């Protein structure tokens, strides 16, 4: 039996590219779907049978019977949020206990991690990152500082003691930050209320299979099973390659699959890079093609560009090819997946950034964060397609000007376009070959 490879789906812009939809669409072709990083800062939307579902921690393969969903060691779990997700799935007729396994090495987000996230953002003032305030930064900080709590800890007798010790340390840090603990609320709840729900979540998680998923996954590959790895956020929010410090705290790029699931680099197969036909970003940080005009507003309105996790309006702008070329390079993208071009169906013309200029000179390299704040994006203008595409089911059905747009993107980036999404529903998807 030949060992199989892990295919990867990740976002190659600033998140919210439509990864959840594509994982759900491709899941039937795989035995296992595994999330490899991030936590409930993610909001992955899936639409089918007229209903919309948003997942934060649970992998987007969960709606498919007979598939195993794995929460890998690289993921962060907030017991309170995952419990809500589990309950939402039950209401939709899905029992996650039967379909999901969790790594014993996945770290927990404590209620006090969320307070620390809020306190640290508050302290940054105008330099704030615009975090989702889900506790991501502080929980990954504790992981790297070697003092975090992991899923494997929830079944040991000393769990309550370990929890109390870490909470106490967090409270000490919060007092040092002059944080008003009495006034603090987490999703509208006091710390004590949130903690109670969090502990109920821990009790729920004890019913799941918690195991070294790296062993499970590697054995599955040895047995010829197929695995799809699901990323969260996007490459431009990567802790190393994103616009630091306006990034998330994990490796969102292909290399993150190896550490986030325990998969050797030689076992990586296809890498699907998901991108929108325009750009969005939530939170602070440079955005060279950002639009502050009526066109930006139109993209936000037609694309329903409001965060799936926080409801915040997303910043919008034109497609940025220099940044796509960069993320194609760091990820080794083999297949491009284009989303949401239907949002621009009525545009007469549209623009695509093909290079950046800094101080009057064309830039040879992808800019660092300071440069990215100052660069001027250079555009080519293209005619719109002025015809709706959501009914198209074959590549040849797509409007001609849109196909020309895709050829242009492909030529400029050197990437191969494999999948085109023409609407939010599962069915609204075209496979090129
Ligand atoms: P993710 O975080 O990458 O999974 O993406 P989000 O779920 O945060 O945001 C993508 C949004 O676009 C969701 O509201 C999807 O339902 C929607 N969506 C996905 N694909 C398409 C598409 O091709 N066209 C349109 N109009 N909406 C889409
Ligand atoms: P999905 O998986 C879009 C952004 C936040 C903020 C920065 C840091 O749905 O694509 P964090 O909470 O990680 O400390 O926030 O990253 N961010 C996202 N933006 N989509 C996401 O996830 C995001 N997760 C984090 O807005 O700018
Ligand atoms: Mg999202």
Distances in Å between the Cα of 305 and the Cα atoms of 189, 212, 280, 343 are 27, 37, 8, 11
* Residues lining ligand 2, Cβ inside 6 A: 11, 14-16, 38, 41-44, 129-132, 134, 136-137, 232-234, 237, 248, 282-283, 308
Mean pLDDT value of segment 189-197: 98
Mutate to test the pocket of ligand 1, among 21, 50, 302 (most ligand atoms within 8 A of CB): 21
Which value, to the nearest 10 degrees, does the dihedral of the CA atoms of residues 135, 140, 145, 149 take?
70
pLDDT the model gives residue 308 = 75
pLDDT digits (tens, 9 = 90+) for 4-27: 999 999 999 999 999 999 999 999
- Residue 378 scores a pLDDT above 80: yes
Distance CA 140, CA 38 (A): 9
Atom of ligand 1 nearest to the CA of 232: 2
Fold of 276-431: Adenylosuccinate Synthetase; Chain A, domain 3 (3.90.170)
What residue ranges do the domains of the chain occupy?
A: 6-105+209-272, 107-204, 276-431
CA of 316 to the centre of ligand 1 (A): 14
Looking at the predicted structure, is the pLDDT value of residue 75 above 90?
yes
Q: What pLDDT, on the 0 to 100 scale, is given for residue 323?
A: 96
Q: How far is the CA of 187 from the centre of ligand 3 (A)?
A: 18
- What does the pLDDT average to over 161-169? 98
Instruction: Say how far apart CA 208 and CA 91 lie, in whole Å.
Output: 18
Q: What is the pLDDT of residues 26-41, one digit of tens each?
A: 999 999 999 999 999 9
* pLDDT of 356 higher than 90: yes
**Per-residue confidence band for 310, with pLDDT thresholds at 50, 70 and 90:** confident
CB 273 within 8 A of CB 10: yes
Cα 427 to averaged position of ligand 1 atoms, centre (Å)? 13
Catalytic residues: 16, 44
Residue 263 — pLDDT band, cuts 50, 70, 90? very high
Q: What is the pLDDT of residue 302?
A: 97
Exposure on the CB side of residue 154, measured as CA atoms within 13 A: 28
- Looking at domain 6-105+209-272, its CATH superfamily turns out to be Adenylosuccinate Synthetase, subunit A, domain 1 (3.40.440.10)
Which ligand 2 atom lies nearest to the CA of residue 131?
15
Interatomic CA distance for residues 52 and 44, integer angstroms: 10
What CATH number labels 107-204? 1.10.300.10
- Quick check: 391 and 366 in contact, CB under 8 A? no
Q: Give the chain's radius of gyration (CA, Å).
A: 21
Nearest ligand to residue 236 Cα: 2
Dihedral class, residue 255 (left if φ above 0, else alpha if ψ from -120 to 50, else beta): alpha
The answer, yes or no, to whether residue 346 has pLDDT greater than 90, is yes
SS3 call for 47: strand
CA separation (Å) from 419 to 250, 274, 335?
Answer: 27, 9, 8
Task: Pick the closest to residue 208 from 143, 135, 152, 149 (CA basis).
Answer: 152
Contact 416, 334 (CB under 8 A): yes
Each residue's pLDDT tens digit, 291-301: 999 999 999 99
Q: Kind of pairing, strands 319-320 and 349-358? A: parallel
For residues 173-185, average pLDDT = 96
Q: Are 236 and 280 in contact (CB under 8 A)?
A: no
Q: What is the pLDDT of residues 197-243, one digit of tens each?
A: 999 999 999 999 999 999 999 999 999 999 999 999 999 999 999 99
Pair 357, 375: CB distance under 8 Å:
yes
- How many whole angstroms separate alpha carbon 401 and alpha carbon 264? 42
* pTM of the model as a whole: 0.98
Q: How far apart are CA 417 and CA 407, in angstroms?
A: 9
- Say which range, 97-101, 159-163, 363-367, has the weakest mean pLDDT: 363-367
Handedness of CA 93, 422, 269, 17 (dihedral sign): negative
């Amino acid at each position: 039996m030949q060992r199989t490879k892990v295919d990867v789906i990740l976002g190659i812009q600033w998140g919210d590219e439509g990864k959840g939809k594509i994982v759900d669409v491709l899941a039937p072709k795989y035995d296992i779907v595994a999330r490899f990083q991030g936590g409930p800062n993610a909001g992955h939307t899936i639409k089918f049978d007229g209903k919309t579902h948003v997942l934060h921690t649970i992998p987007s393969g969960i709606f498919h019977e007979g598939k195993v969903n794995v929460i890998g060691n690289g993921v962060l779990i907030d017991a309170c949020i995952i419990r809500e997700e589990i309950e939402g799935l039950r209401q939709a007729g899905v029992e996650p206990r039967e379909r999901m396994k969790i790594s014993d090495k996945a770290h927990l987000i404590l209620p006090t991690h969320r307070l620390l996230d809020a306190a640290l953002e508050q302290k940054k003032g105008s330099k704030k990152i615009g975090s989702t305030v889900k506790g991501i930064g502080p929980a990954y900080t504790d992981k790297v500082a070697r003092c975090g709590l992991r899923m494997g800890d929830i079944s040991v007798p000393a769990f309550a003691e370990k929890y109390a010790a870490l909470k106490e340390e967090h409270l000490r840090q919060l007092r040092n930050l002059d944080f008003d603990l009495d006034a603090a609320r987490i999703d509208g709840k006091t710390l004590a209320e949130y903690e109670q729900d969090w502990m109920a979540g821990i009790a729920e998680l004890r019913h799941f299979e918690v195991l070294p998923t790296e062993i499970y996954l590697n054995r599955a590959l040895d047995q010829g099973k197929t695995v799809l790895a699901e990323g969260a956020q996007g490459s431009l929010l990567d802790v190393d390659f994103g616009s630091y410090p306006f990034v998330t705290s994990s490796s969102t790029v292909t290399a993150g699959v190896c550490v986030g699931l325990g998969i050797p680099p030689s076992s990586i197969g296809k890498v699907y890079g998901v991108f929108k036909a325009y750009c969005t970003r939530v939170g602070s940080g440079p955005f060279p093609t950002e639009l502050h005009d009526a066109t930006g507003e139109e993209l936000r309105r037609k694309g329903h560009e409001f965060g799936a996790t926080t409801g915040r309006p997303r910043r919008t702008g034109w497609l940025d090819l220099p940044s796509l070329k960069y993320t194609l390079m760091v990820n080794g993208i083999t297949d491009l997946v284009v989303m949401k071009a239907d949002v621009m169906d009525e545009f007469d013309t549209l623009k695509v950034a093909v290079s950046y200029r800094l101080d009057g000179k064309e830039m040879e390299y992808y800019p660092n964060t300071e440069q990215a704040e100052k660069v001027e994006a250079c555009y080519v203008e293209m005619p719109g397609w002025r015809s709706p595409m959501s009914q198209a089911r074959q590549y040849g059905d797509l409007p001609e000007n849109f196909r020309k747009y895709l050829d242009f993107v492909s030529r400029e980036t050197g990437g191969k376009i494999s999948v085109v999404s023409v609407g939010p529903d599962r069915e609204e998807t075209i496979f090129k070959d």
